Amino acid sequence: MTGRQRPIPLCGGIVNISTIPQRSPFRYPGGKTWLIPRIRQWLRYRRPSVLVEPFTGGGIVGLTAVFEGLVDHTIFAEIDDEVAAVWSTILEGGSEWLAGRILSFDLNIDNVRDLLLRTPCDTAEKAFQTIVRNRTHHGGILAPGSSLTKRGENGKGLGQRWYAKTLAQRVRAIGSQRHRFTFLHGDGIEVMKSHATDPQTAFFIDPPYTAGTTEDGSKRAGSRLYRHHEVDHKHLFAVACNSVGDVLLTYDDTPEIREIANLHTFVVKRVAMQNTHNTKLSELLIGRDLSWFRPSLTQQEFFS
C-alpha cells in the first residue's frame, strides 16, 4: 500500500443485539446479529429472490432473510465439517431428532467430557456433539485449542449458554422452513461461481477474520477462532466483482482489505459494532453501491 490512507468515517450507531431475533442454534465468533438492521436495509432495497451465504457459520443473515420474507430462498455453504454437520442435519430432515437430543441431554461436566471424547457414529451425532461443544466452550470457539468454559458469566459455569428449550425451538423452527433453504457442504467461493450469472441472486460474504499477524506481532483473530481461516481474499474479491447479482461483504478493518476493495472499485463504509465482550469496535461494509445505506435506522429496520 502506498501513500497515506485517508480515514474512512464511522457510520451509524451501535445496534443493541438484544432487539434482534435470535434464530441460530450457534453462538458463533464473528457472528453478524449486530448487522441485521443493515441487512434489512440492503435486501429491501435490492429485492433479490435468492441469497447465497458462502461462509455460513452461524447463518444468522440467511436465516433472517428467509424468516422475515426478505428473500424466497437462501443457499448456505460451509466448509467446516462440524458446522456443516449441524446445518445438514437440520435442513435434511433431522431437526426433530436433534431437538429431542438437546432436550434429553443432562448437561454436566462429566457428560460433556464423555460426549466430546467420543467419535461420532454419524452426521446427526456429530451435529449434536458440535452444538454441545459450541455452547460449552469459551466464546463458542470450535477451532482446535479451544477450552471448556470454567466460571462463565457471573459464575454460572459450564451451562451458562445451554438453553435446551430455546435451542430445541430454534432447531425445530429452522427445520419447519427447510424447503426454503439449500445447504451445500464445500467451498463457498465455488458455490458463488456457480450462481454468478443470476441477476436475482445476491451474495452476503462474511469470510473468517483475516489471519496472520498484526504490525505489533500479535496473531489476528482468524488464526485462533476458525479451523478454516485461510482464504484467498484477492480471489474472493475477484469472484464477487464478476458476479452479476449484488454483493455485500463484511471484513475486519485492515489496510490490506481496503486496498483490495479499492482495486476492484468497491465502495467501503466503516460501521460501528460491539463484540461479545461489549467492546466497541468497527468493521467494513463493502459493495459496488452502498447508496441504500442510511446511518439512521427506522423502527421497521430495527424491529421487523
Number of H helices, E strands in the chain: 12, 8
The helix or strand, by DSSP H or E, that contains position 143, with its residue range, turns out to be none
User: Would residue 101 be called left, alpha or beta, if left means φ above 0 and alpha means ψ between -120 and 50 degrees?
Assistant: alpha
Residue count of the chain? 304
Give the pLDDT confidence score for residue 224 in this predicted structure: 45
Cα dihedral 209, 210, 214, 217, rounded to 10, equals 90
Contact indicator for 142, 30 with CB cutoff of 8 Å = no
Distance CA 3, CA 110 (A): 57
| CB-based contacts of 259, cutoff 8 Å, min separation 6 | 1
The three grid cell numbers given for residue 255, joined into one nine-digit string: 489496510
Distance CA 167, CA 100 (A): 10
Grouping H, G, I as helix, E, B as strand and the rest as coil, residue 59 is coil
Each of the 304 residues of the chain gets a pLDDT tens digit; together they read 333 344 444 455 555 566 789 999 998 767 899 999 999 999 999 999 999 999 999 999 999 999 999 999 999 999 999 999 999 999 999 999 999 999 999 999 999 999 999 999 999 999 999 999 999 987 666 766 666 776 544 455 677 789 999 999 999 999 999 999 999 999 999 999 999 999 999 999 999 865 544 444 444 454 444 454 678 999 999 999 999 999 999 999 999 999 999 999 999 999 986 655 555 668 999 999 999 998 766 555 555 4
Give the pLDDT confidence score for residue 218 in this predicted structure: 43
Distance CA 207, CA 193 (A): 16
Pick the closest to residue 208 from 237, 250, 253, 238 (CA basis).
250
Pick the closest to residue 29 from 222, 286, 233 (CA basis).
222
The three grid cell numbers given for residue 102, joined into one nine-digit string: 438437546
Give the pLDDT confidence score for residue 279 in this predicted structure: 54
Q: Where are the domains of the chain?
A: 10-79+186-302, 98-173
Distance CA 182, CA 180 (A): 7
Grouping H, G, I as helix, E, B as strand and the rest as coil, residue 82 is helix
Give the pLDDT confidence score for residue 209 in this predicted structure: 67
Pick the closest to residue 246 from 198, 300, 296, 208 (CA basis).
198
Distance CA 265, CA 259 (A): 10
The three grid cell numbers given for residue 85, joined into one nine-digit string: 454437520
Give the pLDDT confidence score for residue 145 in this predicted structure: 63
The helix or strand, by DSSP H or E, that contains position 176, with its residue range, turns out to be helix 164-176
CATH dotted code for 10-79+186-302: 3.40.50.150
Neighbouring-strand partners of residue 180: none
